[in-house]
Amino acid sequence: MAELLEWMMQADQMLGEFISRYGNLVYLFLFLIIFVETGLVVIAFFPGDGLLFSAGLFAAAGSLELAVLLPLLSVATIAGNTSNYYIGRYLGHRFFQKKDTVWARQLRKAHQYHERYGPWAVALSRFFPFMRTLVPFAAGLTRMSFRLFTPYNILGGMAWICAYVLAGFFFGGVPWVKRHYGLIFSGLILFLLLVLIYGIGKAFWDRRRRAGD
């Protein structure tokens, strides 16, 4: 977790170094990072939010093209979630068989989130670290209809990419934002995790109360 926060706090510096060294290859780098984060259930710790914000910041500075970033990264995350859905559909039962592993516990949380919010979980999970990787896997695991999964996958993917890239594009150059870059993202992650924990906890207690009645 400490390495993740450090990476997010320094995402702008890392992306700047990559642009200066490799030029337009940065687009391939960003595509792969976003695809892997949302497409492989075993890799749920990539710094997608900070990277997207930084990409928007560099687009505002003229180092990257906003017209390329938005469609390219939207395709990356939509394709990633689709990949994760099929991994869950065909291989997911093996994770649940190992009941005491960290991944099994995280998947059960994702499954609870999925049950509570239904198909909207696929869209909303993009904004929650770890959940954006685990929820599409859980959707495949529970055999959600691909026809139902797809529009929420597209909606959530485009909303996530546009929200963070455009936030970086329009607000990344504000002096206060630049000075408190790491603090903003650390606070955002903490807030989203608290919302997630509250939602899962409320669903759990509601089920227990109904069972008691």
CB-neighbour burial class of residue 63 (10 A; exposed 0-12, middle 13-18, buried 19+): middle
In the structure, what pLDDT confidence band is assigned to residue 190 with cuts at 50, 70 and 90?
low
Distance between first and last Cα of the chain:
40
Q: Which residue has the tokens 């996530």?
A: 160
pLDDT tens by residue, 33-77:
889 888 876 555 556 777 888 888 889 888 899 999 999 999 999
Residues 57/172, Cβ–Cβ less than 8 Å: yes
Q: How is residue 204 annotated by DSSP?
A: H
pTM: 0.72
pLDDT tops 60 at residue 127: yes
Which one is predicted more confidently, 89 or 111? 89
Q: Which two tokens stand for residue 85?
A: 């859905």
Do the Cβ atoms of 87 and 41 come closer than 8 Å? yes
Question: Where along the chain do its domains lie?
Answer: 2-212
Residues 6+ apart with CB under 8 A from 104: 95, 96, 98
Tens-digit pLDDT profile for residues 173-188: 666 666 665 566 656 6
pLDDT of residue 159: 92
DSSP code at position 100: T
Which helix H or strand E contains 182, and what residues bound it? helix 181-212
